[in-house]
Structure 1
């Protein structure tokens, strides 16, 4: 196993439970991958995912789950606030109160369509391998499923078809960013994401979501999985056209019957295979993220656990991000857990995220290591928050930045892409280009986010089968 992210650890535990002897090689000094944790002066931050959905996929872990209401607080550019709820009737009531009864009726219509998309996706895509786009097209779709998913329709197009209020369209558009995609180009099938989030609820893990990685590591060890930290893999060994082991950076060669890779698919195809595969030129299309870790004095009752502040021109943000420019007026996503375990008394720990171009020197990227850029953009994000009614600058005890360059270096994610280099719906398959090689994690099918990488691990374990 290459990599001890959530996908890798989940796959390791599943394979060990099937009777396999499993060794995981992790380059970093800790497990979890992007599910990171940072401590400073009594403040604790999740530096990766901040929301758990589809909790039914994690019932075998000992987690202290806290339901969130609202799941997300949306603050629109005109000052209107809308709290989402995992109770559909309650959310409709909140929409009616904030945006009017006709907006609630529109969302109800969209919700019924999203439910059909979710059912079709869950049944036919999310739990099974999809090795090629042709394989996806060749699935035994029910006619009703095809009508619901509407191949060729974008998420933006779906919103325009159902939602008259531009604020609800903006709310729907944001879910494309959950896959690192642009809503103007992302498929309408991504409407399954808000349905899953709101139908099954959004959850916080008390003490921080990093507890998921700790619980997975404990489960792996109880099953006899051997985890080697500080052990980067330099190459995948291919003998007779089949993956037969790995070579560590130390030069040690390790033979095995199957190799499961939890590194980004682009890195695997380009750097670890003896002959770069056809996906070595995989475009890094996924957006990245610019993060502030803020120590804040006092309480901020106007914040929910998750609060998103939208700009006036959402399209301008996507034009900038995918055009290689930090957005001047970005959407700002603030996570502030009401949990005494993550902040000193009388203080709060804020994780602030904005969509950002990936790190690099290509025309669609930004050199985030350019001197002064991170600090200047930190100040810009704080100014944007202040302009939207949340001026925290005088209450800061510290403000640290995490740029896409930092994420690329810490997690080996090319360009610092949050959800893997291939943003959107179709991703590299779970079966590698040579027999005996398999892929798990957010850069492969069925996608990024904690539930999806867990499903990728289940797909791979099922494919490998019992020892």
Structure 2
């Protein structure tokens, strides 16, 4: 197995339980992939995702691979309210966790009568899209006739536009035509942007993203998301998976027309009956992995055109107030301009900023300090912005800190120090797979054209994010154990 990301470890644990001998080669010094951690002076921060959605994916992994359930290995806490949203006009709303009625009521109270009803009706249509696409999009291997997912499952309302009936086909059009309220539109577009999607072009089926969060809830892993990675790693070790760190794979070895092992950078070769690649498989084979009719990687083989996440880790003096909300989202005053900048290769002047303030003693040195994380979706490194250069990094950290004052007014007075993480360090932000638009938002299948080679993780089916990575691990394990006839998880 190439790489020790979350998807790869999910596959490794399942394969080991099924009787396979599994060796994981990871070029870095640790496991977890994008689920990283930074520690300094008693402060601890997640450098990747900060919250867990669809925890059932990881509960299933722990049930299928051992006696100890997930909650016995990590502490899981529902975040309530799930999020607090602050808009440019000064209004704000706190949305309860996994309560549609509560969300409708909160939106009506904060944004005016009718706002909650419109959002609730939108969630109803999003539920229909979920029911129509959930299994082929998330729980089954990507089928050879993947074109069936090219049709958008979101039941958009028919509207009279420019003297003819039209239906919303993008996130931005849902916001403008169906929600018809600027702050509701900003709420929806903020969800899409946080997953690395351009609201102006992302299919209407992206309605699944707020639906999943608001239906199944947002969870915090005590100690941070890195604790989930630790628990999965330890489960792999308990199932006798071998990890070799500092081992860079330079080539996938082929024999008799199939993948037969890997060659390491030092020239050592390891034979294998199956090879599972967490990332970069295309660069490790001597020919094209994809043929006409296949779903190819988004943004090219290296994902160079995908946006990333700019993160500022803040060490603050002073205790975290009891009234503080775990997640606040400070919305950009111009979501359209923000998207145009991000996906046009520029830095947005007024970005949407997420503020995470976990109430967790394990993230701070004592009760008189607080660890806070700020993040925004930004353009990829390269082109007009070089995130390896200090010139754009420090000024943009100040932009995020300034925006965060809406949620944390005394942030500058309390600031001890900050650390920055950019896409140059954390890589691109692959979005979850979405149906619609002819399959443009799908990811390559887990089983490749090269027999014996499988793809796992955020850049393969069913896409990015911790939950989807876990799903990809289950799919790869199923394909190897049961063969090409595997029809998905039950």
Q: After TM superposition, is the score higher than 0.5? A: yes
SS at structure 2 position matched to 1:8: helix
* Structure 1 residues 420 and 123: alpha-carbon distance in aligned structure 2, compared to 1, 3 A threshold: closer
Q: Which residue of 2 aligns with 1:383?
A: 402
Q: Which residue of 1 aligns with 2:163?
A: none
Counterpart mapping for 1:276-425 below 5 A: 276-278=288-290, 279=296, 281-282=300-301, 284-299=304-319, 301=321, 303-344=324-365, 345-360=367-382, 362=383, 366-386=385-405, 390-407=409-426, 416-419=427-430, 425=441
Specify which of 108, 117, 120 is matched with residue 129 of structure 2: 117
Contact 2:342 2:378 in 1 (8 A): yes
1:386 CA drift (Å) = 3.7
Specify which of 92, 96, 115 is matched with residue 104 of structure 2: 92
Residues 9-47 of structure 1 show CA distances to partners (whole Å, capped at 9, x for unaligned) of 000001111111111111111110110111111101011
RMSD across aligned C-alpha pairs, in angstroms? 2.4
Q: Output the CA distance in 2 between the equivalents of 1:121 and 1:107.
A: 21
Q: Output the CA distance in 2 between the equivalents of 1:44 and 1:371.
A: 23
SS at structure 1 position matched to 2:15: helix
Q: Which residue of 2 aligns with 1:9?
A: 9
Q: Output the CA distance in 1 between the equivalents of 2:156 and 2:57.
A: 24
Contact 1:67 1:201 in 2 (8 A): yes
Residues 258-296 of structure 1 show CA distances to partners (whole Å, capped at 9, x for unaligned) of 111111xxx321x21122445584453421111111101
Q: Which residue of 1 aligns with 2:265?
A: 249
**In the alignment, structure 1 residue 439 sits paired with structure 2 residue 458:** no
SS at structure 2 position matched to 1:25: strand
* Structure 1 residues 422 and 404: alpha-carbon distance in aligned structure 2, compared to 1, 3 A threshold: farther
Q: Output the CA distance in 1 between the equivalents of 2:154 and 2:103.
A: 26
1:219 CA drift (Å) = 0.8
Q: Output the CA distance in 1 between the equivalents of 2:156 and 2:118.
A: 18
1:394 CA drift (Å) = 2.1
**In the alignment, structure 1 residue 74 sits paired with structure 2 residue 113:** no
Q: Which structure 2 residue ranges, 5 or more long, are not aligned?
A: 63-69, 158-166, 291-295, 435-439, 484-490
Contact 2:14 2:474 in 1 (8 A): yes
Contact 2:168 2:174 in 1 (8 A): no
Residues 101-125 of structure 1 show CA distances to partners (whole Å, capped at 9, x for unaligned) of 2111101111110111112222222
1:160 CA drift (Å) = 2.9
Q: Which residue of 1 aligns with 2:176?
A: 160
Q: Output the CA distance in 1 between the equivalents of 2:272 and 2:470.
A: 23
Contact 1:153 1:187 in 2 (8 A): yes
1:138 CA drift (Å) = 3.3
Contact 1:11 1:461 in 2 (8 A): yes
Q: Which residue of 1 aligns with 2:139?
A: 127
Counterpart mapping for 1:134-213 below 5 A: 135-138=145-148, 146=153, 148=155, 153-213=169-229
Contact 2:78 2:220 in 1 (8 A): yes
Residues 118-146 of structure 1 show CA distances to partners (whole Å, capped at 9, x for unaligned) of 122222221011256xx2333799xxx94
Residues 269-328 of structure 1 show CA distances to partners (whole Å, capped at 9, x for unaligned) of 1x2112244558445342111111110112454641111101110111111111111111
* Structure 1 residues 152 and 129: alpha-carbon distance in aligned structure 2, compared to 1, 3 A threshold: farther
Q: Which residue of 1 aligns with 2:281?
A: 268
Q: Which residue of 2 aligns with 1:465?
A: 481
**Normalised by the size of structure 1, how large is the TM-score?**
0.90
Contact 1:131 1:428 in 2 (8 A): no
**In the alignment, structure 1 residue 32 sits paired with structure 2 residue 32:** yes
1:385 CA drift (Å) = 3.0
* Structure 1 residues 146 and 213: alpha-carbon distance in aligned structure 2, compared to 1, 3 A threshold: closer
**Normalised by the size of structure 2, how large is the TM-score?**
0.86
Q: Which residue of 1 aligns with 2:22?
A: 22
Residues 367-425 of structure 1 show CA distances to partners (whole Å, capped at 9, x for unaligned) of 11224221122223223334777341221111111111122xxxxxxxx2122799973
1:433 CA drift (Å) = 3.1
Q: Output the CA distance in 2 between the equivalents of 1:463 and 1:387.
A: 48
Q: Output the CA distance in 1 between the equivalents of 2:350 and 2:398.
A: 12
Q: Output the CA distance in 2 between the equivalents of 1:438 and 1:10.
A: 14
Number of residue-to-residue matches in the alignment: 447
Q: Output the CA distance in 2 between the equivalents of 1:202 and 1:146.
A: 24
Q: Output the CA distance in 2 between the equivalents of 1:123 and 1:242.
A: 30
Q: Output the CA distance in 1 between the equivalents of 2:281 and 2:143.
A: 16
Q: Output the CA distance in 1 between the equivalents of 2:191 and 2:78.
A: 20
1:156 CA drift (Å) = 1.8
Specify which of 206, 231, 254 is matched with residue 215 of structure 1: 231
The range that moved more, 446-455 or 283-292, is 283-292
Q: Which residue of 1 aligns with 2:56?
A: 56
